[in-house]
């Protein structure tokens, strides 16, 4: 079987997966559930914001010309004809010599053309009538938040495919989106394979290990914004595995299996794909870890055969599964964000394949640096916990020196 496998470059493997992309549907969710979902329609302003001229301060709405000569020593006195808080309106017209006591956010009364702040005034009463003594002048249109000064009607605000953040949530609320059009989350099936696997709640037994991949992968699926559906773990038994996969594929948009894609005696996935008549897009990628990562299609579905080795499984998901989920969701950004960084340490290397090292990046004196997160063998799990990036080291070089420029794939 190994002889039949031709390694292809990582970029080509990613391209082959992305060429298959399937796009999802739109659904509506309540605004309070929209955080972190992908907006499925462009967001356009169908009204001005603010929708009316309003006061940005607590103070008095008045006519600027009435107090143009006002100073501390020579204050001008206006009659207070109304008192409005945010949400209230003064329905009469403000006339010469009048002022309306106005609180932040309240609508500027007709006839008023400026606001003086509370701290530049004194209030008093004379024969039961309230007056304000103004100690400063203001100019025409001073201290008014004008209609549309924040957002003008018709402005394109957020493009579809954007992940909804708290700020976008505020815009959606501002424009009355009680129900928000978002991309429907794909359901991604997860199956772990391997006769050595114990479920997480089982005590350890000789020769056995706990299945960590399934839970790791489900967390990765959630991180991308999809729904994981766990179908349990399978022993390395061909008929059982084939039956299970054939059954569950109907219930999911994509299916991930971990393990069994290598060339060992009990690696059954290649045979299962054959039996299912799936089209294998590739079964060998020029990368470490995860060179045996296999992706196949079956009608509209994609089967991701991720390696059993935990970090290879992790990397395989980030490189191949994440982009396709992003596509499905219609995201603007597909795949992990990439940045250029400098290596903080030497990394010896003797590998013809590209390496993806679990790394941590940090900003030091304004520059981005990356270093390995820990031990980097593909069967090791520890360094996955602290990794916040994958450091990509192109194959074929004898090693990389501290300070070399490298590409990192940001994980969070
Ligand atoms: P495989 O790809 O099936 O040959 O597995 C490669 C290595 O990964 C073996 O050492 C397996 O025991 C280990 N492995 C396979 N599946 C899992 C899993 N779900 N969780 C943790 N380790 C696994
Ligand atoms: Mg196995």
Task: Report pLDDT digits (tens) over 29-46.
Answer: 999 999 999 999 999 999
Ligand nearest to the CA of 213: 1
- Find the helix packing angle between 269-276 and 238-248, rounded to 10°: 50
Contact 331, 316 (CB under 8 A): no
Q: Pocket around ligand 1: residues whose beta carbon is below 6 Å from it?
A: 192, 194, 196-197, 209, 211-214, 258-262, 264, 267, 307-310, 379
Atom number in ligand 1 closest to CA 292: 2
Element (H, E) at 10: helix 10-18
CA 75 to chain CA centroid, nearest Å = 55
Ligand nearest to the CA of 209: 1
When pLDDT is cut at 50, 70 and 90, the band that residue 378 belongs to is: confident
What is the average per-residue pLDDT within 372-376?
Answer: 93
Query: What is the number of alpha carbons within 13 Å of residue 215 lying toward its C-beta?
Result: 9
In tens, the pLDDT along 257-288 reads 999 999 999 999 999 999 999 999 999 999 99
Q: Name residues whose C-beta falls within 8 Å of residue 398's C-beta, 6 or more positions apart in sequence.
A: 349, 350
371 CA distance to ligand 1 centroid (A)? 26
For ligand 1, atom 16, name the residue with the nearest CA. Answer: 308
> Which domains does the chain show, CATH number per domain?
10-25+184-329 (3.40.980.10), 27-48+156-182 (3.90.105.10), 59-134 (2.170.190.11), 338-410 (2.40.340.10)
Q: Does this model's pTM top 0.85?
A: yes
Provide the pLDDT for residue 76.
98
CA distances (Å), origin 13, targets 7, 81, 311: 9, 74, 18
């Amino acid at each position: 079987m190994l002889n039949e496998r031709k390694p292809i470059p990582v970029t080509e493997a990613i391209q082959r997966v992305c060429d298959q992309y399937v796009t999802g549907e739109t659904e509506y969710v309540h605004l309070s559930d929209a955080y972190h979902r992908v907006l499925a329609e462009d967001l356009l302003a169908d009204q001005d914001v603010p929708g009316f001229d309003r006061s940005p301060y607590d103070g008095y709405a008045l006519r600027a010309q009435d107090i143009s000569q006002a100073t501390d020593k020579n204050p001008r006195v206006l009659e207070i004809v109304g008192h409005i808080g945010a949400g209230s309106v003064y329905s009469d017209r403000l006339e010469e010599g009048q002022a309306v006591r106005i609180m932040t956010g309240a609508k500027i009364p007709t006839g008023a053309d400026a606001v003086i702040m509370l701290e530049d005034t004194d209030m008093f009463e004379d024969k039961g009538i309230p007056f304000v003594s103004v100690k400063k002048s203001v100019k025409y249109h001073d201290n008014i938040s004008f209609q549309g000064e924040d957002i003008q009607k018709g402005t394109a605000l957020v493009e579809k495919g954007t992940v909804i953040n708290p700020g976008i949530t505020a815009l959606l609320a501002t424009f009355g989106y009680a129900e928000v059009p978002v991309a429907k989350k794909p359901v991604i099936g997860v199956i772990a394979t391997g006769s050595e696997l114990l479920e997480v709640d089982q005590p350890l037994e000789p020769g056995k290990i706990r299945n960590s991949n399934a839970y790791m992968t489900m967390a990765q699926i959630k991180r991308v914004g999809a729904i994981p559906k766990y179908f349990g773990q399978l022993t390395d038994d061909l008929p059982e595995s084939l039956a299970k996969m054939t059954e569950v594929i109907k219930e999911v948009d994509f299916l991930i299996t971990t393990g069994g894609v290598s060339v060992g005696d009990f690696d059954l996935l290649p045979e299962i794909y054959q039996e299912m008549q799936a089209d294998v897009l590739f079964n060998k990628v020029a990368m470490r870890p995860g060179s045996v990562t296999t992706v196949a299609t079956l009608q509209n579905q994609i089967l991701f055969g991720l390696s059993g080795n935990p970090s290879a499984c992790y990397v395989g998901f980030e490189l191949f599964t994440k982009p396709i989920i992003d596509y499905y969701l219609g995201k603007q950004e597909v795949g992990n964000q990439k940045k250029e960084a400098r290596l903080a340490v030497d990394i010896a290397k003797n590998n013809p394949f590209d390496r993806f090292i679990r790394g941590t990046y940090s900003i030091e004196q304004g520059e981005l640096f990356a270093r390995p997160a820990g031990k980097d063998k593909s069967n090791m799990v520890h360094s996955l916990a602290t990794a916040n990036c994958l450091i990509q080291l192109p194959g074929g070089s004898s090693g990389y020196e501290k300070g070399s420029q490298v590409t990192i794939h940001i994980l969070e």
